[in-house]
């Protein structure tokens, strides 16, 4: 077994799409980013790469590369899952925490688990997603942005 951890954060900006785990969330603000700003996919990608000993998302998809402008992060996650399988690993389980004061994520959790499971090539029952606030403290609490943590277990 191999364990991996990933963390990512993005600033909020008005008029940007709010995409989490490949799912469009209803919100009048979204994430500022070179890509689609899907903080959950980015944290999960880093967890997978970490467990596989394959560096990190910035190394694999440089944000200076025009190819990744407004990139669909869920597709990047699929690509990473494929590379990890090619390297001889299987995704056993992933657990993620999204930290955001707003918007409310719970209505979207089932859809997000389905979406991430499909990208990873495993069932939704192998990906858990939860959300919490930081009680109005810090950058998430002041609505400056959002962050996510992910851990995963790979078998070889």
Which residues contribute to the site for Zn ion (CB under 5 A)? 8, 42
150 binds ligand CDP (CB under 6 A): no
105 binds ligand CDP (CB under 6 A): yes
Residues near 137 by beta carbon (within 8 Å), at least 6 away in sequence: none
Q: Which of residues 116-135 bind ligand CDP (CB under 6 A)?
A: 131-133
Q: What are phi and psi of 108, to 5 degrees?
A: -105, -5
Minimum Å gap between C-beta 99 and ligand CDP is 8
100 binds ligand CDP (CB under 6 A): yes
Pairing state between β 90-99 and 127-132: parallel
Minimum Å gap between C-beta 15 and Zn ion is 18
Residue 99's nearest CA partner among 36, 3, 14, 7 is 7
106 binds ligand CDP (CB under 6 A): yes
By beta carbon distance, the residue nearest Zn ion is 42
Separation between Cα atoms, residue 9 and residue 81, nearest integer Å:
21
Residue 133's nearest CA partner among 103, 96, 95 is 103
Minimum Å gap between C-beta 104 and ligand CDP is 4
Q: Which of ligand CDP, Zn ion, none does 8 bind, CB closer than 5 to 8 A by kind?
A: Zn ion
Which residue bears the tokens 């400056």?
A: 144
Q: Specify the residue, 132 or 155, whose C-beta has the smaller distance to ligand CDP.
A: 132
Residue 114's nearest CA partner among 123, 105, 102, 104 is 123
43 binds ligand CDP (CB under 6 A): no
Binding stretches for ligand CDP (CB under 6 A): 100, 104-106, 131-133
């Amino acid at each position: 077994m191999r364990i991996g951890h990933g963390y990512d954060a993005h600033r909020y900006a008005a008029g940007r799409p709010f995409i989490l785990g490949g799912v469009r969330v209803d919100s009048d603000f979204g994430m500022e980013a070179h890509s689609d700003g899907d903080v959950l996919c980015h944290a999960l990608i880093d967890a997978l790469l970490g467990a596989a000993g394959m560096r990190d998302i910035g190394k694999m998809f440089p944000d200076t590369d025009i190819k990744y402008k407004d990139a669909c992060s869920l597709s990047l996650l699929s690509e990473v899952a494929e590379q990890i399988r090619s390297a001889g690993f299987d995704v056993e389980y992933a657990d993620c925490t999204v930290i955001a004061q707003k918007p409310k994520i719970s209505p979207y959790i089932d859809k997000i688990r389905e979406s991430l499971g499909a990208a990873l090539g495993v069932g939704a029952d192998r990906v858990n997603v939860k959300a919490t606030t930081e009680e109005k403290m810090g950058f998430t609490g002041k609505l400056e942005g959002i962050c996510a943590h992910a851990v995963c277990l790979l078998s070889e």
